[in-house]
Amino acid sequence: MSKPLDDKHIIDLFNRGGKHSDLAFKAIVSQFGEVLYSQIRGITKNHEIANDVLQNVLIKVYQNLSEFKGDSALYTWMYRIARNETLNTIEKEKRRAGVDLDAPILEIKAGHSVLDGTTPEMITDTLQEAIATLPEKQALVFQLKYFEELKYSEISTRLNTSEGALKANFHHAKQKIQEFILNKLNH
């Protein structure tokens, strides 16, 4: 597998146009496609919808990459697009009867009284709701650490953020999610 390109390299390549743009865009999809898909699929719980959303996200990325100023890491920017696109799609698809949904991505182990009274579907939905309430950076770090199981060093490279800051973000994200779940399931 070829070495991942850094953000600056990708953007410079893309802005050169023609075949260079194609190469840059393919590098983006190769480096970030899976994690974007996973993020989207976790919320949409359906491959076809995730496929459509991912395609829309990538089209937006392609159309707007030349305007990307580099104020954040490239992945942060794409994560934001994916998050908005997914939530908008879910909002439009509230009438999702008839769509085959994935099995819940979470299972519950016995031993926690609050969780014992709930179902995997419920805890999965509640977790996604909780993530949606988080500030973007915390949600992003949580996604990469908890679901993608990336090392802090990898996330640090990807997001241009120190490992210490990432650990703090992840800790706060977990705390807030926990509070959200307990509040929601206790009532």
Partner 1 sequence: MNEEKDIFDFIEKRKVDMPNKAYFDNMAQSVIDSQKTKIIPLYKRPITWISTAAAAILVFLIVNFNSPDDLPIVPPQVASDELSKEELLAYVDENIDEFDVEMIAEFVPMDELNAKYEEFQNEMFEDEDADPLESITLENITKEDILEYLNDEDLDFSDLEEDSFI
Q: Which residues bind partner 1 (CB under 8 A)?
A: 22, 25-26, 28-30, 33-34, 37-38, 41-42, 47, 51, 54-55, 58-59, 62-63, 102-115, 123, 127, 146-147, 174, 177-178, 181-182
Which residue number, 53 or 140, has a Cβ lying nearer to partner 1? 53
Q: How far is the CB of 13 from partner 1 (least distance, A)?
A: 14
Q: How far is the CB of 62 from partner 1 (least distance, A)?
A: 5
Q: How far is the CB of 182 from partner 1 (least distance, A)?
A: 6
CA distances to 10, 14, 23, 60, 180 from 18, in Å = 14, 8, 9, 18, 48
Query: 90 and 44 in contact (C-beta within 8 Å)?
Result: yes
Which residue number, 35 or 159, has a Cβ lying nearer to partner 1? 35
Which residue number, 99 or 103, has a Cβ lying nearer to partner 1? 103
Q: How far is the CB of 115 from partner 1 (least distance, A)?
A: 5
Tokens of 56: 């829309």
**DSSP character string of 31-51:** HHHHHHHHHHHHHH--HHHHH
Q: How far is the CB of 103 from partner 1 (least distance, A)?
A: 7
Residues with Cβ within 8 Å of residue 34, at least 6 apart in sequence: none
How many whole angstroms separate alpha carbon 129 and alpha carbon 96? 17
Which residue number, 42 or 134, has a Cβ lying nearer to partner 1? 42
Which residue number, 71 or 149, has a Cβ lying nearer to partner 1? 149
Which residue number, 66 or 162, has a Cβ lying nearer to partner 1? 66
Q: How far is the CB of 128 from partner 1 (least distance, A)?
A: 13
How many whole angstroms separate alpha carbon 175 and alpha carbon 46? 28
In this structure, which long-range contacts are made by residues 93-101, counting pairs with CB atoms below 8 Å and at least 24 apart in sequence? 93/49, 99/46, 99/48, 99/49, 100/46, 101/45, 101/46
